[in-house]
Structure 1
């Protein structure tokens, strides 16, 4: 795990190192200082069907997932810069509705269920059909400004920063999927959950696989050097199946090795019927389906764009229930 470099507040300006600081500044971007540095905060955008509350109980919408990716401090920092930019664009607009309380807006800033609370004491869901609702014409819940700009644009820019293309987001919205962003204090996350968290480079993957997939680890270790030196494009060319097609088919496809058990059963069958050992392609497919290590994984600890550009610092973490770290995170609902 990478070590933080001590920084002097005098040289970097304000240090933002608590989820509550971040949450306040997102909702009050006028308080974002000109010079600041984010430390010890990481995040993740979670998604799931609106009608499926269980999709948001852990870091991923599939409780069987063993791992999840999280973006690093640089991502949190850039999200604040996006908020500051929209503040300047929307000068004179009301940034938030006084009748609206969101996750972590309680006095402790902790993760909670998300509803709109009215002055008469009634509550209702925060949104419907992907659009945040207005009440009694008291102003848009989406930061509508006189020039017509909405918070939707801000949310889309944040999602794009994390790696979600607008077309993908809108497709998911049409399927009744919603997005929310978790910002968590890394040290507290480690202390509260005991979960493994590593930089998303090949050394980090090595530690994660050894810890979470001990029975499959010997096969991974055998091909560890080749995995690092073989591009995914080359893997795809050499495979006798289509990764995207298998992924789209999901658990109905026999090659969708989403668990260690499925992978091992297939390897045993391969040995029995073909007298063949697991191949490099087999192991890379296991990482693809069971660990979420997809096409654009570069192995250098940073996310990569489709254009090959280095984007954000990235961590690979053990997928855990969110209730375990609710005391050290905040949640933002990205309603489009």
Structure 2
């Protein structure tokens, strides 16, 4: 980890091949206060966090800070919106046992959802597993309700956060399940279910993983590196 931090801080775009990063993971995150960077995901209501492995960590050295954020699936417009809201971006590097991090496929996701949200009947995910795997996001939500409510935020009547999902009086519909996965878990409209990140340009890039969101002081090794994306 120390070799990587030194290379990153010195603006190098490579590491020697014999520098082994196996066992290290990383997460690009945002926030305003120091407390926002005290856990893997700044939002304490998010019980799961999206991370990358050592291969992505190595490849990030060849990118500008803006390219790193775009590479992880963000648009320039979204990045600009965050910066205008005084958000800062950081790269968290950490180590954790490999069995605590799952490649973000549909099957692994259903498994970790049962761990992260034990109060939700696990049959909720498996009931719609075939539709979630086989249907496109647009087929599930042709009117764009999910994305619209995502941008309106948690105060929106249609934003499917955990409390609202648990308060549903009837069995959730496929649309409501997909909204929960988007709004609460972070499976946006680009998620393909094969464990690969898809950018808004349509590029399929690195493997993406999901793990339990936890305070950084619970991690065996951890470092936080500042990012300074320069917008065009």
* TM-score (structure 1 length as normaliser): 0.62
5+ long unaligned stretches in structure 2: none
Q: Indicate the residue corresponding to 2:206 in structure 1.
A: 312
1:292 aligned residue: 186
| 1:33 aligns to 2:9 (yes or no) | no
Matched, 1:332 2:225: yes
Which of 1 and 2 has higher RCO (CA within 8 Å, sep 6+)?
2
Q: Secondary structure at the match of 1:253?
A: coil
Computed over aligned residues only, the root mean square deviation of the Cα atoms, in angstroms, reads 2.3
How much does 1:34 deviate? Answer: 6.4
Q: What residue number does 2:167 align with?
A: 265
- DSSP 3-state at the match of 1:24: helix
| Aligned counterparts of 1:164 and 1:331: Cα–Cα separation in 2 | 20
Alignment of 1:191-210 (within 5 A): 196-210=100-114
Superposed counterparts of 1:173-188, under 5 Å: 173-187=83-97
User: Does the CA-based 8 Å contact 2:216-2:222 persist in structure 1?
Assistant: no
Aligned pairs (5 A) from 1:231-246: 231-237=136-142, 242-246=145-149
- Deviation, 1:265, is 0.9
The Cα of 1:69 is off from its aligned counterpart by 0.5
SS at match of 1:252: coil
1:102-141 superposed matches below 5 A: none
Distance in 2 of aligned mates of 1:331 and 1:54 = 13
Matches of 1:22 and 1:231 in 2, distance apart? 38
Aligned to 1:23: 5
Cα distance change of structure 1 residues 251 and 158 upon mapping to structure 2, 3 Å threshold: closer
- Correspondence for 1:222: 127
Secondary structure in structure 1 of the residue aligned to 2:93: strand
User: What is the rounded CA distance, in whole Å, between the counterparts of 1:167 and 1:250 in structure 2?
Assistant: 17
Shift of 1:59: 1.5
The Cα offsets for residues 147-204 of structure 1, whole Å up to 9 and x where unpaired, read as xxxxxxx2212222223333332332121110000111233x87xxxxx421111111
Structure 1 distance, partners of 2:2, 2:14, is 13
Secondary structure of 1:329's counterpart equals: strand
Instruction: Tell me if 1:159 matches 2:69.
Output: yes
Q: Distance in 1 between matches of 2:126 and 2:112?
A: 12
SS of corresponding position for 2:153: helix
Aligned match of 1:48: 31
Give the equivalent residue in structure 2 for 1:247.
150
CA–CA distance in 1 between the matches of 2:67 and 2:200? 17
Shift of 1:43: 0.6
Q: Contact conserved, 2:13 with 2:62, CA < 8 A, in 1?
A: no
Is the 1:73–1:313 Cα contact (8 Å) retained in structure 2? no
Asked if 1 retains the 8 angstrom alpha-carbon contact of 2:160 and 2:176, the reply is: no
State whether residues 201 and 299 of structure 1, in contact with CA within 8 Å, keep that contact through their aligned partners in structure 2: yes
Q: Which runs of 5+ in 1 are unaligned?
A: 1-18, 83-153, 191-195, 272-276
2:61 alignment partner in structure 1: 80
CA contact (8 A) 1:20 1:330 kept: no
Q: Is the 8 A contact 2:41 2:213 kept in 1?
A: yes
Q: State the SS of the aligned residue for 1:81.
A: coil
Please name the residue that 2:40 is paired with.
Answer: 59
